[in-house]
Amino acid sequence: MAAEAKSRGAEIIAAGGPALKNVADRWLGDLVSQSVMGFLEPIKKIPFFVNFLNHVIRPALSEFKPNVVVPTDFFGFNGFVAKAAKAAGSKVCYFVSPQVWASRPGRIQH
């Protein structure tokens, strides 16, 4: 466990981008490089995300038994992560950044 984890009283097990990698005590993998937009591009990435869920996320949930899992944005994938985390007995606090939330029409009024 990294010294930072001991001082903050938590161990961070993460998958995401480079900034998250820098604070993680245990790194599961880069998801930012797999970012997708549009309709066809996400379909092409389905095998990667299914493999990552089944061979990285689920085993990590089983091995580390986290108290809390915090999926962030990207509901297309993180909805499955949240479901797997709940099934593994972890609490889930889903985070959607305010910028993403407010970018949808009708969600914020001036």
Asked whether residue 91 is assigned to any structural domain, the reply reads yes
Asked whether residue 56 is assigned to any structural domain, the reply reads yes
Asked whether residue 10 is assigned to any structural domain, the reply reads yes
Question: Model-level pTM?
Answer: 0.79
Instruction: Give every residue of the chain whose pLDDT is below 50, as ranges.
Output: 1
* Type of residue at 20: L
What are the angstrom distances between the C-alpha of 55 and each of 28, 72, 80?
A: 10, 20, 13
Number of separate domains in the chain:
1
Asked whether residue 109 is assigned to any structural domain, the reply reads no
Asked whether residue 110 is assigned to any structural domain, the reply reads no
85 is in which domain, residue-wise?
A: 3-102
